[in-house]
Chain A
């Protein structure tokens, strides 16, 4: 997607978020690095729902998900200089922080509790009334990713879900499913490989 942006120096100088809304995330991050709270707020508004959704999906607790997202975004605010646009989008970077922090939180729990949560698969744990369609622009992408995941053989999608959303290691998954570790590794690799082929150009390419 190609967007036209105003010159960086024209945005945010008065602390208003309005001119910032037209800037790309990567340009906003330059302002965040300089301590511009208004630029950070735009980043927050663009990605906090995705971050909260991911954390909720992974940990199954709103309060814990809120804590994780709060810590993740404050980390982003304080370490904006570490963002490297050559390694992916701000969204990917942000969601990666949330993913890693949620895994840490899950692994601090008892193994039993983590397995119970992970074993629920992709069941939605959040009341339907709280769903939102704030991210209209991402609906097609969401549908494609879900389709690609849903078209995998069940044993492949399951190990991917348990690993990515459940925060389990491949060893824990092997024990849980009473399946050899090598088989689990193979299912992960085959599953991701098929999704890669199915999604093709829909996948984000690092600039």
Chain B
């Protein structure tokens, strides 16, 4: 097939491409063609400007303030993670309690007493014991990939822990928003005290989040989640709302 014939075959798909109306396979094939067809590239560039203007035809709405709060909470937390966290030595000031509310361990700015109401609402909920049902998903039917259902203290919330290739990912659903000025923090426990991770998260309006647990889970016995002040803590300052026993 000559270059002209190939161009003719794809030229009629340019409009569908810029509108996002090609099927997945068609899209990939078209993109591959673009790399070798300057005529189609020029046509795409011209029509893309039209497609890019289409959002302006939509009646404009104000984005909800609550949405901004959720987005900016996450952004500020992640921006803070680029700065050095409280030194590990702070952990020794906590008195060694696994779930201590010790001030010295906290990165946040609010006094513990000011958040007890919100955290208490979470911690006070009756623990819902969910059987650790394991769905084996690995192709070998063995331990390479599996899903564990975690225990969650919040009624109707569910957390599936996907274990694959030595790593874990939490699939959270139905969780309430973290208390004001707080985020959820993921902890891992091998032996001894729970260790902090850099995984801090908030949930969407629908209560959903997908969170990767940093690092390998080799030797990890439990994965836990607590509500912590923005920026996270180096020792837990509240009781866990999610516990997954591996």
Contacts and interface: CB of A to CB of B under 8 A. Distances in A.
A49 B63 contact: yes
B49 interface: yes
B31 interface: no
Contacts of A203: 49-50, 53
Contact of A44 (B49, B72, B208): B72
B111 interface: no
A131 B21 contact: no
Contact of B75 (A40, A169, A204): A40
A99 B54 CA distance: 11
B28 to A, nearest CB: 13
Contacts of B15: 185, 188-189, 191-192
Interface in A105-119: none
Interface string A153-189: 0000000100111011111010000000010011011
Contacts of A188: 15-16, 19, 21
Given A50-B60, A165-B54, 16 more contacts: A37-B76, A40-B75, A132-B60, A141-B56, A142-B57, A145-B53, A145-B54, A149-B54, A160-B54, A163-B16, A168-B21, A169-B16, A189-B47, A195-B50, A199-B50, A203-B49
A131 B61 CA distance: 5
Interface stretch (A1-9, A20-28, A53-61): A53-61
A18 interface: no
A44 B47 CA distance: 27
B64 interface: yes
A167 B49 CA distance: 18
Interface residues of B, number: 46
Nearest to B74: A74
Q: Is the interface of A mostly helix, strand, loop or mixed?
A: helix
Contacts of A90: none
Interface string B27-67: 00000000000000000011101111111111111111001
Interface string A50-83: 1111101100001110110111011001100000
B58 A54 contact: yes
Interface in B74-90: 74-76, 78-79, 82
A151 to B, nearest CB: 12
Contacts of A170: 16, 21-22
B71 A70 contact: yes
A170 B63 CA distance: 31
17 contacts: A35-B79, A48-B67, A49-B60, A49-B63, A54-B55, A67-B208, A78-B78, A88-B52, A131-B59, A145-B53, A146-B56, A163-B19, A165-B54, A189-B12, A189-B15, A192-B19, A206-B49
A78 B74 CA distance: 11
A11 B30 CA distance: 43
Nearest to A34: B82
Contacts of B78: 35, 77-78
B72 A53 contact: no
Contact of B79 (A37, A53, A96): A37
A59 to B, nearest CB: 12
A138 B14 contact: no
In the A-B complex, the 3 residue pairs with the smallest Cβ-Cβ separation, listed nearest first, are: A188-B15, A163-B21, A52-B63
Interface string A14-50: 0000000000000000000001110011001100111
A69 B49 contact: no
A99 B20 contact: yes
B57 A145 contact: yes
Contacts of B205: 63, 66-67, 70
A63 to B, nearest CB: 5
Contacts of A48: 63, 67-68, 71
Contacts of A66: 64, 67, 204-205
